[in-house]
Amino acid sequence: MFREKRRHPRAPVLGVATVTWGDNAQATYLVGNVSAGGALLIGTRPIPIDTRVTVTLDLGKSRVSALVARVARLNVRADDACDLALAFEHATMQIGNELQAERLRALANRRAADPRCALIVDPADADRQLLESDLQALGLQTLAHATPINAVPYVSQPRSRIDIAFVDLSNECADGIDLLAFVARAHPGARRVVVASRLGDSHLESVRSFLGGCQVLRKPWSRDELARLLSE
């Protein structure tokens, strides 16, 4: 039986993944997050970045076999646990729909003690999934999108809730800045966080001036850094 060694809070588990690679190497992981484009796995056996793997996902009522993926990110923690971000190859719409439906059922069946809701917008699947997993582990509900335009319908809903918005601006995307401004108008009490790895200080100051203030989360981040940001 697979036993998780993590002692710190972890992402809500959506299922179990069996991963094989190389010369019949195999390991079992917990599934912390999943989408049509990839999955975030939690376990104790690291797999090198760029390794090609085959994955079987058991997600409650759904089972998806023989998914070919690449290890996009590896994060080894101090307690010997590790996070693996996988990017699927050739994920079909049908697989995406099955995974999303199962994920939504799981989210509907659990309500975090802290009702705060975080909006996440990041085109990088691995980064988006990792941030979503970290925020869920810290007690927030999350809603994630790959592009700003996809997030607009939810932000516009009168009954939608956004307490904090994380928007990636690594490519200095004007749509992302416009979305943060729109969040401020539609949800006046929401905190806004710029997520970036290649944002110069001068451009960052221009963004802050335009938005009337915002926080910054630089890639790569740690969960402790994220927790401190949330507590500010």
Q: What CATH number is associated with residue 215? A: 3.40.50.2300
Strand, coil or helix: 116: coil
Residues 220, 118: one domain? Answer: yes
CA dist 195 and 162 (Å) reads 17
**48: preceding bond cis by omega (within 30 degrees):** no
Q: What is the chain's Cα-based Rg?
A: 18
Residue 7 lies in a domain: no
Q: How many CA atoms lie within 13 A of 1 on its CB side?
A: 3
The predicted pLDDT at position 31 comes to 87
Residues 215, 171: one domain? Answer: yes
> Of the residues 53, 85, 106, which one is the last residue of a structural domain?
106
Residues 168, 225: one domain? Answer: yes
Residue 34's domain comprises 15-106
Q: Is the pLDDT of residue 49 over 90?
A: yes
> Of the residues 106, 125, 147, which one is the last residue of a structural domain?
106
Q: Is the pLDDT of residue 153 over 80?
A: yes
Confidence of residue 104 (pLDDT cuts 50, 70, 90): low
Instruction: Specify the number of domains making up the chain.
Output: 2
Classify residue 74 by burial, with Cβ atoms within 10 Å: 0-12, 13-18, 19+: middle
Strand, coil or helix: 152: helix
What's this model's pTM, rounded to 2 decimal places? Answer: 0.53
Beta bridge partners of 199: none
Residues 158, 92: one domain? Answer: no
Quick one: DSSP state of residue 173?
Answer: -
CA dist 159 and 19 (Å) reads 40
CA dist 86 and 71 (Å) reads 5
The predicted pLDDT at position 98 comes to 60
Residues 84, 98: one domain? Answer: yes
Least confident of 22-26, 45-49, 81-85, 166-170: 166-170
* Dihedral sign for Cα atoms in the order 121, 139, 62, 83: positive
Residues 88, 123: one domain? Answer: no
Of 127, 130, 122, nearest in space to 41 by CA = 130
Residues 51, 116: one domain? Answer: no
Residue 9 lies in a domain: no
